[in-house]
Amino acid sequence: MLQEKLRSIENDIYTCAQCAFCTATCPVAEQKGWETYGPRGKMYLLKLLLQNDLQANEEIKERFYACTTCSRCAKVCQTDLKLVEIWEDVRSWLVEDNLGPLEVHKGIEASVAQSHNTYRESADKRDAWAGNLKLNKKGKIAFYVGCTSSYRMQQLAQDTMKILQSLGEEVAVLGEDEWCCGSVLLRTGQRRQFKEIVEHNVQALKNTGAKIVVASCTGCFKTISGDYPSIYGSELPFKMMHISQYLAQQIESGKLKFTKSINEKVTYHDPCHLGLHAGEYEAPRAILKAIPGLELIEMDNVREESRCCGAGGGLKAGMPDIALAIGQVRVNEAEETGASILASCCPFCKTNLSQAIEASNKNLVQKDITALVVEAMGL
């Protein structure tokens, strides 16, 4: 029962001062206008549910799934509440009570159980993105590709691999042995498969012999680096890095060199799972600043104050209209800089921001940082 589960976070519920510092930061509350869509309102709903003054129902479920898990609220919370953990716990309790998740999320869980990816694709086509690129099972570095790059955004996987191979390292990929990282399942409260996923992926990555594992999806990066260790029970047997962190290091050491100029004004969107969740703001900027000719112009809200693209937390699948509207707010901000390229480094940001650009008819192009690196390396 939800009410019983809420007792485990009773202190948090009563600690919330209802100060509303968080409300102004919430991209969903901004779109919907109603208090209960924002974090303060959600905390108030939890208090009513705990006190038995309210019963969980479809409307309550809808409020708790109307969230990108961006963590902007947690960044400003005056009482330091770990709000994203609370949102994810509440979703998992709604699932346990057979109220959650949203219908579309159930299909994702079934797909992961059946074929180890979120898109109902065949597991044996997981490395079809590679085309003519030679893939190895062993290496000093492993590239965790992720479901979206494997099946829906193959250019991102190809660009990442081309860059890594051009740096002279032997790069391992898991192919069919790579299972969905479990990010979407965790964010939507569907935790049943997560332990098995963690154990499988960690063992498979360990078997490659790699000491460093890179991901070009920030959802995979955040999940493996942030959520896997507590389930795995100890430190992971490899260092998990986002591709931007790895490439920034290679630039710093002089190993990665650019041979071509990109004479464009570029603005950079911080993906929430890299920035707000993992505190990495510098690495992507270091890469952009090192590209000859490229002029980086910052938006008004960046780094710890960055706006969300709207795609996270299962919102894009569950409530695509709200996700798109949030993306359009970010695109407006990008346009105000006068940049011609809106760069980022996450396939979910890419999808939502590209659709927002199209829906708003803006004169902007969305590019992943790896695409800019490939261009500037002349690959």
Question: Is there a cis peptide before residue 101, judged by omega within 30 degrees of 0?
Answer: yes
Q: Does 86 bind ligand SF4 (CB under 6 A)?
A: no
State which of positions 1-20 bind ligand SF4 (CB under 6 A): 16-20
Backbone angles phi and psi of 21, in degrees to 5:
-55, -35
Q: Does 364 bind ligand SF4 (CB under 6 A)?
A: no
Sole binder of ligand SF4 in the list 31, 69, 267, 366 (CB under 6 A): 69
Q: Does 48 bind ligand SF4 (CB under 6 A)?
A: no
Region binding ligand SF4 by CB under 6 A among candidate stretches 3-11, 76-84, 244-252, 347-355: 76-84
**Residue (of 238, 234, 280, 225) closest to 141 by Cα position:** 238
Question: Which CB atom, from 8 or from 136, has the smaller least distance to ligand SF4?
Answer: 8
H-run or E-run covering 341: strand 341-344
Q: Does 325 bind ligand SF4 (CB under 6 A)?
A: no
Q: Does 173 bind ligand SF4 (CB under 6 A)?
A: no
Q: Does 56 bind ligand SF4 (CB under 6 A)?
A: no
Instruction: Please tell me the distance from the alpha carbon of residue 124 to that of residue 50, in angstroms, as a whole number.
Output: 47
Q: Does 139 bind ligand SF4 (CB under 6 A)?
A: no
Q: Does 39 bind ligand SF4 (CB under 6 A)?
A: yes
- What are the counts of helices (DSSP H) followed by strands (DSSP E) for the chain? 20, 8
Q: Do 133 and 155 contact (CB within 8 A), yes or no?
A: no
Instruction: Please tell me the distance from the alpha carbon of residue 236 to that of residue 257, in angstroms, as a whole number.
Output: 31
State which of positions 279-308 bind ligand SF4 (CB under 6 A): none
Instruction: Please tell me the distance from the alpha carbon of residue 376 to that of residue 365, in angstroms, as a whole number.
Output: 17
- SS3 assignment for 307-324: CCCCCCCCHHHHCHHHHH
How far apart are CB 127 and ligand SF4 at their closest, in Å? 34
Sole binder of ligand SF4 in the list 8, 51, 55, 78 (CB under 6 A): 78
Instruction: Please tell me the distance from the alpha carbon of residue 369 to that of residue 251, in angstroms, as a whole number.
Output: 14
DSSP code at position 145: -
State which of positions 204-263 bind ligand SF4 (CB under 6 A): none
Q: Does 71 bind ligand SF4 (CB under 6 A)?
A: yes
Q: Does 83 bind ligand SF4 (CB under 6 A)?
A: yes
How far apart are CB 56 and ligand SF4 at their closest, in Å? 18
Binding site for ligand SF4 (CB under 6 A): 16-22, 25-28, 39-40, 43, 67-73, 77-79, 81, 83-84, 87
